[in-house]
Chain A
């Protein structure tokens, strides 16, 4: 919930290129048309986050706030409320380990511990090479194959710690499951 200092930084605000500004304007305008004048912050921010390496830089948020016609504080409040949006840089791939009840009782803690060991980072951290951010997630809704995790939009289930090196290698190599 801590405010992102970059949002208030005027010199950063000028860091956006012409292409950035055109992109953001296009995203917001398209969303405005799609939603009959009432923009969906979430749709816009997900798309923007995707382009800027899985996070929302302060200068980008500032521009989005201007385009949708709200204050930076209001938009920042929105962003920091939702755990799937981030104002801190994240890796190219976001690993979300389900930490909910069914996964907890069938072995999620061991999966998380092994990922921390394999990646050398703790929960909420990003690997130094920028490949992975490791996060805990609320229920992924695939409890029938718990413990489970998602990497980007792909889900993996019935996990044991020994499955993890193979999954990470496949994602690193660019292939999904």
Chain B
């Protein structure tokens, strides 16, 4: 007889924080106390609050234990489960008061979220199809088979669901185009090549709720008339591949995949295809080439995949998060889906909070939520009392949303007006220590590296832009560099073959637009206001403050600091490697960093 359940977050981040050892300790403690038959341990998918991991939740109470370690996990069994006493030391401490939260419902990181895509992540065992079914799993498929392809597509169209992979294209239109396309066989593809730096919602869905994607793909197959589906997952996500494989096997055993699904006469099966570290494969035409066993190079559209996709056949391709939205829409209807979000971007969006923010992790909120709510209410603000400078969205294809727009509702269209894109939902929070020129250069380096080389504007143009950016951060910029960057950027945007090149200039153009002073400081004053660009940084000794303690001279790895004991020291600028160790070690505030 099971009286308690222990949910342990086995998402990718919690595993790196030691989830496996925590689980081992809990199993051992249960046996030691003789209650292993009364308590069930369930390893779930990602619970979202990655910085609090490893996380253990005790049911039925829902007690939320965070930052559990193998050393402090024991009392969860010996105190909580044996004696009924909550282990208060492991509860989450509310940031604004001395009180501690007992359950997820008391933590603002969770209470402000609306979990639709992540409905099962962190709640069920992703390896158990029974648990998925118990949460209305495959009910949407049942309904889909009943109402037929036209009604399915009509429901998706009415819901207003837009592609969560970045561009926000209406999903229903894609489905209809694939259904209407002539040609056979047709294919259904799931784009799980989540390459945007800082976005990890697709990984979490595949790891935490793989059946939701499988169910949606079967529905899609039925709607467009396909018999084969492919899930394209990156090799960087071995856990997602492993859990997806298990889920596919279970789904076949239960008759949700294979021949004559649920007695409907409809046949459909899914295969996994693996990507191996080429960012451009997230672009749909490139991804299809990769599945075909070719170099993942994009091709011009039209023809769109819906007309000529895999092996030249009509192909429906959607992203993981988009698919995960589909089963609940079929169960609850289009109206339900539109009940949250904005008129033009209904539903929720999963964001990945990362960078300089207190609470990192995955959060799902209605479209139209403001950046302030995301960063400060849910994210808990910026660590160390630093100032919020901006949020980088859309990875290397996006730009910056600045502090001036903290109260703007975020949806596909509002962010586009700011010259950035929603992308797949990565939000990298930047604070006053981040140099915007450096950040833009960093993303440009990424696109230069990942450009497949097929079209000239992307291959050559991004390289030219990068060289100018490098010149600026090296302190060799010229006043007309900004104009050159803008012109070059526009040409690349307008003439590149695929989305990678068309969006590659965005980080640079966006930072020039919102932080022109920073660019000017680099070019005209040869200074980096954020002290991030090493070539523009100098360390010097303020002789009035220096007491000659010699601490800096002893710390300096290249012996660039000289001076007699109890006399002011001097840093030789030619030798200094700008490592900052003198700045760190000085107790008299005598090192000037500028």
Q: Please report A residues at the B interface, Cβ cutoff 8 Å.
A: 35, 39-43, 46, 70, 74, 77-78, 81-85, 96, 100-106, 137-146, 148, 150, 153, 155-158, 177
Could you name 12 residue pairs across A and B whose Cβ atoms are closer than 8 Å? A42-B276, A85-B276, A102-B355, A106-B356, A138-B197, A138-B450, A139-B236, A141-B237, A142-B200, A144-B53, A144-B361, A146-B360
- Please, how many angstroms separate the alpha-carbon atoms of A84 and B71 in the complex? 37
User: Which of B198, B235, B293 lies in contact with A100, CB distance below 8 A?
Assistant: B198
B352 touches A143 (CB 8 A): yes
Is B125 an interface residue, CB under 8 A from the partner?
no
- Please, how many angstroms separate the alpha-carbon atoms of A166 and B516 in the complex? 44
Counting chain A CB atoms within 10 Å of each CB, the highest count among B13, B395, B450 belongs to B13
B198 touches A139 (CB 8 A): yes
B395 touches A101 (CB 8 A): yes
Contacts of B29 in A (CB 8 A): none
A157 touches B271 (CB 8 A): no
Contacts of A157 in B (CB 8 A): 13, 16-17
Contacts of B275 in A (CB 8 A): 42, 82
Counting chain B CB atoms within 10 Å of each CB, the highest count among A103, A141, A145, A146 belongs to A141
Interface mask (B345-380 → A, CB under 8 Å = 1, otherwise 0): 000000011111000111000000000000000000
Instruction: List residues of B (218-268) whose CB comes within 8 Å of A's CBs.
Output: 234-238
B277 touches A138 (CB 8 A): yes
Cβ-closest 7 pairs across A and B: A144-B50, A100-B197, A157-B16, A102-B354, A82-B276, A83-B277, A84-B276
Known: A156-B16, A157-B13. A137 touches B277 (CB 8 A): yes
Min Cβ gap A5→B in Å is: 20
B16 touches A148 (CB 8 A): yes
A158 touches B200 (CB 8 A): no
A140 touches B236 (CB 8 A): yes
- Please, how many angstroms separate the alpha-carbon atoms of A150 and B20 in the complex? 16
Q: Please report B residues at the A interface, Cβ cutoff 8 Å.
A: 12-13, 15-18, 20, 50-51, 53, 194-200, 203, 234-238, 271, 273-279, 290, 293-297, 352-356, 360-362, 392, 395-396, 426, 428, 430, 434, 439, 442-443, 446, 450, 452
Min Cβ gap A63→B in Å is: 17
User: Which of B198, B235, B430, B443 lies in contact with A143, CB distance below 8 A?
Assistant: B198
Known: A42-B274, A101-B395. A141 touches B361 (CB 8 A): no
User: Which of A70, A78, A84, A158 lies in contact with B235, CB distance below 8 A?
Assistant: A84
User: Which of A81, A85, A104, A153 lies in contact with B296, CB distance below 8 A?
Assistant: A81
- Please, how many angstroms separate the alpha-carbon atoms of A17 and B297 in the complex? 35
The chain A residue with its CB closest to the CB of B18 is A177
Min Cβ gap A57→B in Å is: 18
- Please, how many angstroms separate the alpha-carbon atoms of A146 and B279 in the complex? 19
A104 touches B442 (CB 8 A): yes
Min Cβ gap B4→A in Å is: 27
Min Cβ gap A173→B in Å is: 16
A82 touches B50 (CB 8 A): no
Min Cβ gap B123→A in Å is: 18
The chain B residue with its CB closest to the CB of A176 is B20
User: Which of B12, B238, B355 lies in contact with A106, CB distance below 8 A?
Assistant: B355
A138 touches B195 (CB 8 A): yes
Contacts of A106 in B (CB 8 A): 355-356
B278 touches A145 (CB 8 A): no
Min Cβ gap A81→B in Å is: 4
- Please, how many angstroms separate the alpha-carbon atoms of A177 and B443 in the complex? 32
- Please, how many angstroms separate the alpha-carbon atoms of A137 and B53 in the complex? 24
Extra inter-chain contacts (15) besides given A143-B360, A146-B355, CB under 8 Å = A39-B293, A40-B271, A42-B290, A101-B354, A101-B443, A102-B426, A105-B428, A106-B356, A139-B199, A140-B236, A142-B200, A143-B352, A144-B360, A158-B17, A177-B20
Contacts of B362 in A (CB 8 A): 144
- Please, how many angstroms separate the alpha-carbon atoms of A42 and B362 in the complex? 30
Contacts of A177 in B (CB 8 A): 16, 18, 20
Min Cβ gap B416→A in Å is: 20
Contacts of A102 in B (CB 8 A): 197-198, 354-355, 426, 428
Counting chain B CB atoms within 10 Å of each CB, the highest count among A101, A103, A106, A138 belongs to A101
Counting chain B CB atoms within 10 Å of each CB, the highest count among A39, A74, A138, A144 belongs to A144
B354 touches A141 (CB 8 A): no
